Structure 1
Amino acid sequence: MKTKWIHKNSKKECILFFNGWSFDDSPFSHLPSDEYDVMMCYDYRDILLPKEIEQLFADYNSINLIAWSLGVYIANLLLKDLKGAFANIIAINGTTYPIDNLKGIPPNVFQGTVLSLDEKNLEKFWMRMCGGKSAYQHFKANLPKRDLSDQYAELVELQSIIQTHFVDWSIFCSALIGKQDLIFTLSNQKYAWNSNVECIERDYPHYCFDKWNSWDEIIEDLSCGKPRN
């Protein structure tokens, strides 16, 4: 697993962001942060928790965890013992059962992605992730800058990790569910979350970070226990 500071400006509060498969920081370059330093975790070819994460709790007054897509599963797997240390623990368009017919991505669909992954099919995946061709045109301006070979290796390793590390717990307190999500479907996300997780449904596709203007806005919008309209 790799870490990278997206924003580091000696703030008192921090956002720890668990990214999705195949990504780096490029698709989030449009999001500023006024109140938070933002550390990103990505590239899950190994899932050894970096020491930099433990150091966050010594360096900041509060830490907010945001996890997206397959990062939801990885964060849930690795951070169980730190659950009580976070101010907010927010899931976005992912579940703790990422390869599952009823609660995640159907196994045959996941395996099909593994078997057919090439540049053309990755672009098709990203287009579905964005919800269609129109939204994808905006995403194309900030494509991840990673090699296909390591994206493929990451996908294969994630499949192995998920199949061999079953979890029956959730560290999350709120979950954004995209009604237009074509990767983790609405019905599967709703079925996956238990009654202890506050679910927020929006007409968003899987990649929905163009719906907010800053990291601060994401925390304000999705923070745990916030009154909803």
Structure 2
Amino acid sequence: MKIEWLHKSTKDKCIVFMNGWGCDANPFQSMQSNDYDVLMCYDYRDILLPKEIERLFENYQEVHLISWSLGVFVGNLVYNQWKELFTSTIAINGSLHPIDNLKGIPPAIFQGTIDGLNEKSIEKFWLRMCGGKDNFDLFKNRMPKRNIDEQKEELIILQEVIQNHFIEWNVYQTVILGNKDLIFPFENLMNSWGEHKNLIQKDGMPHFCFYEWDSWDDLMRESKGETSAN
């Protein structure tokens, strides 16, 4: 697993962002942050957290976890023993059972994505991930700069990890789901989270949902049920 600061200054609050498969910092360049430093984790070819990560949080008064897509599973897996570290924990458009006919991506579709992955098919995946042409046109300006071979390797490793780790715990206090998710069937997301006590459903929100907020601050406010400052 790799880590990279999306925003780093002298804030006293930090967001740990568990990115989705195949991504890097590039698609998130439009997301500003006024109140938080933001540390991104990505590239899950090695599922272990870097050893230096814990000391990075020593000087913060608050640390918040935001996980998206397959990062929801990874975050739940690796941070279960660190639950006390986080002031709040948020899952977005992901599942604790991400390869599952009822609660995640159907196994046949997941395997088909691996088998057919190439430079052309991943663009089709990004298009579906963005929910259509309008958001994809924005996304194309900040495409992930990842090699297709390492993206495929990452997906294969994630498949193996998911299939070999049955998760029976949940670190997430808040769940945000978009009903226009074309990667995780929305019905399956609701099967996974429908009884969660703090579930936020957003009409029209696609899988890649980060154009919904101008800043990480706005995302955090919405997760708390607060009105955006905009």
TM-score normalised according to structure 2 size: 0.95
Q: Is the 8 A contact 1:19 1:42 kept in 2?
A: yes
Q: Could you say what secondary structure the match of 1:102 adopts?
A: coil
Determine the structure 2 residue equivalent to 1:120. Answer: 120
In the superposition, relative to structure 1, how do residues 175 and 143 fare at CA in structure 2: closer, same or farther (>3 Å)?
Answer: same
In the superposition, relative to structure 1, how do residues 227 and 25 fare at CA in structure 2: closer, same or farther (>3 Å)?
Answer: closer
Alpha-carbon deviation of 1:165?
A: 1.0
Alpha-carbon deviation of 1:123?
A: 0.4
Determine the structure 2 residue equivalent to 1:150. Answer: 150
**Partner deviation per Cα, 1:35-77 (whole Å, 9 max, x = no partner):** 1100000000011111233113312111010000000000000
Determine the structure 1 residue equivalent to 2:107. Answer: 107
- For 2:90 and 2:104, the matched residues in 1 are separated by 17
Task: Trace 1:171-210 onto structure 2 (pairs within 5 A).
Answer: 171-193=171-193, 195-203=195-203, 204-210=205-211
- For 2:131 and 2:147, the matched residues in 1 are separated by 23
Q: Which amino acid aligns with 1:62?
A: E
Identity of aligned residues (%): 50
Q: Which amino acid aligns with 2:7?
A: H
- For 2:147 and 2:160, the matched residues in 1 are separated by 20
| Structure 2 runs not aligned, ≥5 long | none
Determine the structure 2 residue equivalent to 1:222. Answer: 223
- For 1:64 and 1:216, the matched residues in 2 are separated by 12
Task: Trace 1:1-229 onto structure 2 (pairs within 5 A).
Answer: 1-193=1-193, 195-203=195-203, 204-223=205-224, 226=225
Q: Which amino acid aligns with 1:213?
A: D
Alpha-carbon deviation of 1:194?
A: 6.0
**Partner deviation per Cα, 1:60-96 (whole Å, 9 max, x = no partner):** 1110100000000000001011112211100010011
- For 1:184 and 1:173, the matched residues in 2 are separated by 20
- For 1:22 and 1:197, the matched residues in 2 are separated by 30
Alpha-carbon deviation of 1:177?
A: 0.7
Q: Which amino acid aligns with 1:174?
A: T
- For 1:135 and 1:16, the matched residues in 2 are separated by 25
In the superposition, relative to structure 1, how do residues 227 and 140 fare at CA in structure 2: closer, same or farther (>3 Å)?
Answer: closer
- For 2:226 and 2:212, the matched residues in 1 are separated by 20
Alpha-carbon deviation of 1:166?
A: 1.1
Point out the more displaced range, 44-53 or 25-34: 44-53
RMSD: 1.3
In the superposition, relative to structure 1, how do residues 132 and 196 fare at CA in structure 2: closer, same or farther (>3 Å)?
Answer: closer
What is the count of residue pairs matched by the alignment? 226
- For 2:61 and 2:11, the matched residues in 1 are separated by 9
- For 1:201 and 1:184, the matched residues in 2 are separated by 14
